[in-house]
Structure 1
Amino acid sequence: MLRFANALEWSSGGGSSIAAGVPRSLRLRNVHEGLPAPGIGGQLYLVDGAYEYYHYMQDKFNDAGWGCAYRSLQTIVSWFRLQKYTAKPVPGHRQIQEVLVALKDKEASFIGSSNWIGAIELSYILDEYLGVTSKVLTVNRGSEIPANARALAQHFASQGTPIMIGGGVLAYTLLGVAFNEDTGEAAFLILDPHYTGGEDLKKIWQGTWVGWKQLGDSAAAGGPLSVKDAFYNFLCPQRPSTV
């Protein structure tokens, strides 16, 4: 019932304390904070707590073109660390692949490869690595995503964890939903792991690598954010029941 990551280590010197096992990262945190709300009215439902922004090319590791779901998973794990549900480090790509091989979901040749993973694989890793269960919301067509805004909003209201979106050949992280009950309009707060630049918040905002998106909007890297005829899985991690 207790979160061991909440334990405090008391220094022998000045008596200050730090959270055990959660060193400060150089990655940007909470990059959505300060963004203006979308102009659709209604209510905002947002991620509850801090997270770190993981994206392509960090740690001098070239995963451009294939690592978006890995980066989304890392962002999600960072949320569980920063909320002190775990003191485990955020896993790297190879460690993620090793977990899937150990679970016999992938062959041994998967380790060290540049193969994609999706929402289902992420659910296996969260369960095995963190003991976190997940619900998966499947949307048959990209054009039907706004019709599921109420269910996604309920996730943020009750669980507050980041959501991984997987569909086609792309993956994103969902940080919130704006939903207008009167008009049925919806907007989605997308954190895009396809960003390849440095930790420059101004550049990230200007490029809409984090931003509110609606059906038909373009992705930050160009092209449609969602494909109308493609199916999508929304991986919704469940908050652990702890003190």
Structure 2
Amino acid sequence: MPLTVPDVMNLLTDPQTLMRKAYVAIAGGGGAAPANGVAPVATFTVTVEDANPGMLGFTSGISGLFGRTKERPTVRITKRAGAALAVPGPDQFNAYYIAMAQVADVGTASHYGLPRDGAVTLCITSMITACCFSVGHAGDGSVLVSHIQPPPAALGVTLADRQAAAVAAGLTEFNGAPTQFRNNFEYDSMRDRIAIMGVFAHHRWRFYAQKTSIVNTGSMVRSAAAFVAVD
């Protein structure tokens, strides 16, 4: 049966299953990143497009052993402009939004704290193409996340090196307390794009990533898995 918007809404607390069933495309908002602090809450709208030959995905089990693929529907998650809605519509949900920051912003507008209480239990950022999404702890034990765009390439400096430098630069304090960040998963910025969703459950934030690659026939969902959990 085709995937529907109600199906997606029911799977928001299980991103890994959602990412195995569909290609997830997340569109955030523009503008300057807010200053360090608790991540802002935004409202997102969900739409679903039917499976098509231009969007393939991996399979599991016996089929996966033979390298078979399957057409995937597209789930679009789009940030709504303006303040978060107090009561989202049936095709909408609220989540903490992690805006992309430039390296020049690091240390002043790149750290976003994620609360461990309240009604909001989801975290969303825009698609990762050449940026790094990192997860860590503040000195007070709170969870921190950041989405940073590395600087332009320099001779002999790889993207991985630029990402590592972007994560390390200025990420030593948050509200005056030391922080510890871990770098994100590896991917090829020339062909891959990454969708990231976070869920708070059982007293911890867990983050999931879907890797999609550009191939000759269109796009291919290559993986969907949890990549870090933070208490």
The TM-score with structure 1 as length reference comes to: 0.29
TM superposition score normalised by structure 2: 0.30
Structure number having the greater strand percentage: 2
Q: Which has the higher helix share?
A: 1
